[in-house]
């Protein structure tokens, strides 16, 4: 068994003009693919070679001896989840059960949007901003570098990649514009609701 680069759930130009085909080409075709290739190299001949991606992330987390495997496995997981967190003609207010849970945890949908954008801006350096569920409640968490909230018992619903390579070609240093646009034009609330019912196991 080897780890594969999952196909994008849409064409590389499907998110334009919000995220360009040029950005997707580099981000998916170079960065994401690089993590997959390196993971296969690092896990060859090890017990991790036959495990699911989710299990590799969980089983290598926090172990200095497997930090390289964790980083590449988690970045593969995070990116695959990120692509699915967006869709063509997405964005807008949350829907379904996710909307109900957001309203239980935040004063309003606008308050949630501000908190999510603030979290994305507040992530120092590289990392990820997540909407997660745990024990029937949703919250926003930030993770640095390759870290993934599944290692802390959270159920991820959506994520925003705030590594610079995710947005710099289109937005330069304007992370705030990228984060706002993710919520207004790209986020896939159908995927978020699906993850409430069936936790993502990549």
Q: Residue 85: is its pLDDT beyond 60?
A: yes
* Predicted model pTM: 0.95
Closest CA to 36 of 8, 65, 74: 74
The rounded distance, in Å, linking the Cα atoms of 144 and 50 is: 27
Instruction: Identify whether 17 is preceded by a cis peptide bond (ω within 30 of 0).
Output: yes
**Mean pLDDT in residue range 132-155:** 96
Helices 53-60, 67-84: inter-axial angle, 10-degree rounding:
140
Model pLDDT, residue 160: 97
- pLDDT 10s digits, 65-77: 999 999 999 999 9
**Mean pLDDT in residue range 13-32:** 96
Banded pLDDT at 1 (limits 50, 70, 90): low
Tokens 């978020």 found at:
192
Q: Residue 105: is its pLDDT beyond 90?
A: yes
Tokens of 183: 């919520």
Region of residue 131 (phi > 0: left; psi between -120 and 50: alpha; otherwise: beta): beta
């Amino acid at each position: 068994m080897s780890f594969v680069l999952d196909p994008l759930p849409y064409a590389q130009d499907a998110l334009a003009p919000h995220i360009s085909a040029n950005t997707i080409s580099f981000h998916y075709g170079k960065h994401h693919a690089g993590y997959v290739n390196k993971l296969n190299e690092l896990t060859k001949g090890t017990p991790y070679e036959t495990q699911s991606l989710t299990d590799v992330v969980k089983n290598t987390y926090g172990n200095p001896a497997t930090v390289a495997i964790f980083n590449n496995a988690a970045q593969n997981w995070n990116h695959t989840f990120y692509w699915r967190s967006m869709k063509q003609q997405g964005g807008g207010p949350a829907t379904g059960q996710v909307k109900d849970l957001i309203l239980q945890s935040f004063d309003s949908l606008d308050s949630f949007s501000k908190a999510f954008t603030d979290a994305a801006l507040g992530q120092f350096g590289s990392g990820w901003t997540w909407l997660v569920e745990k024990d029937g409640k949703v919250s926003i968490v930030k993770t640095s570098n390759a870290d993934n909230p599944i290692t802390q018992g959270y159920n991820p619903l959506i994520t925003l990649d705030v590594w610079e390579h995710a947005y710099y070609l289109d937005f330069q240093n304007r992370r705030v514009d990228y984060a706002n646009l993710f919520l207004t034009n790209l986020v896939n609330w159908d995927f978020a609701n699906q993850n409430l019912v069936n936790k993502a196991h990549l």
